[in-house]
Amino acid sequence: MRFTVLTLFPEFVESMKGYSVIGRAVDKGLIRLDCVNIRDYTTDKHNNVDDYSYGGGPGMVLQAQPVADAILKNRGWDGHVIHLSPRGKVLTQSKLEELAKKEHLVLVNGHYEGIDQRVLDHYIDEEISIGDYVLSGGELGSMVLIDGVSRLIAGVLSNEDSAVEESHSQGLLEHGHYTRPYNFRGYCVPDVLMSGNHRKIEEYRRREALKVTYERRPDLLETAELSESDKSFLKALKEKQEGEKHGHH
């Protein structure tokens, strides 16, 4: 997988190569990360890349020419061009899985008030947002996307299963994890995890995942794949919570 990041701050995104999973994947040649400075493509003699907004308003807008030329020169024949923007569709695990099948992702990062709309209309394949909030540029969004996609590429994670078991990959949030010591300041590890009974442990973890998803992100349960026993567990959980609510009044 190849990532090309178009940005005014290439060093910021380059820093990912120094860490953990991404760093190792780059070293092994499983992913390639190229950072391109949009400023290198301006034809402006003062090296400017931004200007005031037509129609007035605060802040500066990135000009079409440097961004469009940076895209044209770097996308190659196989580049899928993504603009990171709060106006995009919100990134999900299934979107990451779809992107992981591509050969080459070109990530365009705006700054200031954004990029001239004509670039977005004519040079971009899609817009993606990492959440309903505004950041000062697209770079953090690009880094989130690179990390999320890279983990799905064969060989990047040391244990293949760890990508599958995590939160969101099964449509549920993940169950909690425990490590030594067994007793931490009076708080003990759930006994089932010490039992060595793998079937019981699986069942316990599944129920914990259902419970945490029900409490924090019930919207995910609408699309998650649920077995009959999952459904009856959730029904019992709901009845128990409603009973407790009425019991308190």
Given a contact cutoff of 8 angstroms between Cβ atoms, the answer to whether 22 and 147 are in contact is yes
| Residue 71 is assigned to a ligand binding site | no
**Has 134 been labeled as part of a binding site?**
yes
Q: Is 133 annotated as a binding residue?
A: yes
> Does 55 count as an annotated binding residue?
no
- Residue 137's φ and ψ, nearest 5 degrees, are -170, 175
Does 52 count as an annotated binding residue?
Answer: no
* Triad 14, 19, 25: Cα angle to 5°: 85
Q: Is 110 annotated as a binding residue?
A: yes
Report the chain's terminal Cα–Cα distance, integer Å: 57
Instruction: Find the angle CA(80)-CA(82)-CA(85) to the nearest 5 degrees.
Output: 175
Output phi, psi for 166, to 5 deg: -70, 165
Burial of 51 (0-12, 13-18, 19+ CB in 10 A): middle
Is 196 a known ligand-binding residue? no
Which amino acids are annotated as binding site for S-adenosyl-L-methionine, given as ranges?
Answer: 110, 130-135
Which amino acids are annotated as binding site, given as ranges?
Answer: 110, 130-135
